[in-house]
Structure 1
Amino acid sequence: MALKFSIKHRFASSRVKCVDLHPTEPWMLCALHNGHVQIMNYKTQQLVKDFELCDLPVRSARFVARKNWIITGSDDKLIRIFDCKTMEQVHSFEAHSDFVRCIAVHPTEPLVLTSSDDKLIKLWNWEKMWECQRIFEGHTHYVMQIVFNPKDNNTFASASLDRTVKVWQLDSVSANLTLEGHEKGVNCVDYYHGDDKSYLISGADDRLVMIWDYENKTCVQTLEGHAQNITSVCFHPELPIVLTGSEDGTVRIWHSDTYCLETSLNYGFKRVWSISSMGGTNNVAMGCDEGSIIIKVSSEEPTMSMDKVASALPATSATSSGNSSPN
């Protein structure tokens, strides 16, 4: 495929648990293990905002562009909503009885899904004063990630340490189907965006990546090669590639049709925790133990580095939550 990968942004910081890209602004959002949230402008090479949310890990943060919001989920069990221009807190509430692992924002409706170590997934409506409209039960261990189906926004998938991937509908509290095949806990899940395949991808602590046909409930491909737990998986919304991140410090790029390994990237930021890509751009963001990176796919020349900004920031270190939960 002859893709090229160049560093567009490299930002040293504490452990980055989640990254998100703004759909219209040149912003990358980072949720940090030390309780901070950061916004970086990867065009101006500026740190836009760095503020402390709490003294516990922030495991998820998402842009809601149509509301000019940032939504965060953290180990203090709270969901917080901020104005992403002023960074003033709009609202906060206790969403779960344990750590908040993941947030998924519905692309058109005023709905947000959250998942937690309490084994539950909850649906919230911000137009109804953040009312909890539905609780989805069925997982028997921590629910590590949730993601909406881009081809059917009424359905979503979840990954759990109970070794399963489940597919749900918003109007039903019971899962439509359960995909079983991983030998250890599943950390991450994503949907294929094209119309030609009804596929899901999952990554687990068994170091395997599995491609599922969720209509036929079968595993169609297993990707092997990572040396440690799989922490993040991503079907690029436009390019024919699959990205997989691991605690082995690498991001592997696979062809989404042939499943051949295209390349393995290692930028020396240690364990990879999060990968985010955005339609309409070739930028891919990565969150790692020692910072965040944005690469540009198919670009021959690096366009920027954030090292000079990072060097001006005080050194930070990841803090432990004192809980035996996975990192």
Structure 2
Amino acid sequence: MAKLPHTIYTKEMVQTSERVKCVDLHPSKPWYSLKFLITFQLQFSRLLKLDEFWCRILAALYSGNVCIWNYHSQKIEKSFKVTESPVRSAKFLVRENWIVVGADDGHIRVYNYDTMEMIKDIEAHTDYIRSLIIHPTLPYVLSSSDDKLIKLWDWEKDWICSKVFEGHQHYVMQAAFDPNDLKTFASASLDGTIKIWNMDSGSLDFTLDAHSKGINCIEYFMAGDKPFLISGSDDYTAKVWDYETKCCVQKLEGHTHNVTATSVHPQLPIIITCSEDGTVRVWDKTSYRLDNTLAYGLERVWTVAYMKDSSKVVFGCDKGTIVVKISGSNGSDSADV
């Protein structure tokens, strides 16, 4: 299928490495003050977190280590062992100068950013912690796990578990806060459902029987003034959901293996889907027409991240990290910085 008019995908960097399971970039300014992106050769890297907090990069590794890189010097500043188990999620909690880490041993650990001293060790779940998300305004962290539970943690009350959300019948892979209603969040599970929860009451608002197989990722986005959800699944599809009518308005088909990650760019009119088939597909956000299929020979694609107000998109794969710049036919950025 032909590309959308005036769109060019420039492969700016490919860095081979061991498995990069998740890449998460802070949606703010570091792109503009720097002319490069660091990619990493970290064995079994599970998560790379780029944050504007002094332009440091937090890398959580399958080996159980956590490393902090200086984004300017491209040198490692701190490295420490968290656990013997893989670390699947790590976040800068900038408001408190902390790092929050979730691992396969079911623990959430909190570290002081400056000293790397562990200030809290929580026996949070009885199985792998798949994801951690930090509430944008309140002192809450939401964890999702293979124990089929989602838990809400209040760090202003010594990390008490203030609520437990039960209802999924399989691993909970990801959760996402509703940007238009921060008391609401969505969860995606390998039971094939999306569940919408009220954070305050702890109640389930509704369930979408979304896919015929497990769901790996979930994200809210806006199209015009309407709210939508997008989900990616082991049934090889991604689906777009009208949040108000609870109806699937589009199925994005074409991948030949599990859809591992999705992203709707906040400025560019595109939807991105990643897959274990080794490809990235880029879709028009309005027409849902396929714009391009990108393949870089680094095997399975696990994750995608964008930098807000920038045209650069980063993908993490089995064998490395890829940076792609999306620009107009004259070479100008599609998103002004």
- Shorter-chain-normalised TM-score: which range? 0.7 to 0.9
More moved, 156-165 vs 278-287: 278-287
Distance change >3 Å, CA 76–CA 165, structure 1 → 2: same
CA gap 1:218/1:248 in 2 versus in 1, 3 angstroms: same
Give the number of aligned pairs.
Answer: 302
Matched, 1:244 2:273: yes
1:319 alignment counterpart: none
- 2-side partners of 1:42 and 1:283: how far apart? 16
Alpha-carbon distance between aligned partners in 2 of 1:38 and 1:190, rounded to the nearest angstrom: 27
Q: 1:212 — aligned with what? A: 241
Matched residue SS, 1:107: coil
1:92 maps to 2:142: no
Whole-Å separation in 1 of the counterparts to 2:251 and 2:262? 13
Q: Identity rate of aligned residues, in percent?
A: 50
Q: Deviations over 1:9-37 (max 9, x none)?
A: 54444322222223452444443323233
Determine the C-alpha separation between the residues in 2 that align with 1:57 and 1:182.
Answer: 28
The one of 18, 21, 27 equivalent to 2:22 is 18
SS at match of 1:127: helix
Out of 221, 241, 258, the residue aligned to residue 229 of structure 1 is 258
How many angstroms does 1:268 deviate by? 2.6
Report the Cα offset of residue 293 of structure 1.
Answer: 3.2
- Is 1:180 matched up with 2:184? no
Cα distance, 1:253 vs structure 2: 1.3
Return the alpha-carbon distance in structure 2 between the equivalents of residues 6 and 47 of structure 1.
Answer: 28
Whether the 8 Å CA contact 1:17–1:30 is kept in 2: the answer is: no
Residue type matched to 1:34 in 2?
Answer: S
Cα RMSD of the aligned pairs, angstroms, is 2.4
Report the equivalent of 1:110: 139
Unaligned runs of at least 5 residues, structure 2: 30-51, 333-337
Q: Deviations over 1:128-180 (max 9, x none)?
A: 10011100111010000011112221111110000001111111323211111
Which of residues 313, 327, 335 is equivalent to 1:284?
313
Of structures 1 and 2, the one scoring higher in RCO (CA 8 A, sep 6+) is: 1
Quote the Cα distance in structure 1 between the aligned partners of 2:61 and 2:290.
30
Query: What runs of 5+ residues in structure 1 fail to find an aligned partner?
Result: 302-327
Distance 1:261 1:28, change over 3 A: farther
Q: Give the CA deviation at 1:197.
A: 1.9
Residue 260 (structure 1) aligned with residue 264 (structure 2): no
2: CA distance, partners of 1:234 / 1:76: 28
Residue 83 of structure 1: aligned partner? 112
Aligned-pair CA distance for 1:195:
5.2
Contact 1:230–1:244 (CA<8 Å) still a contact in 2?
A: yes
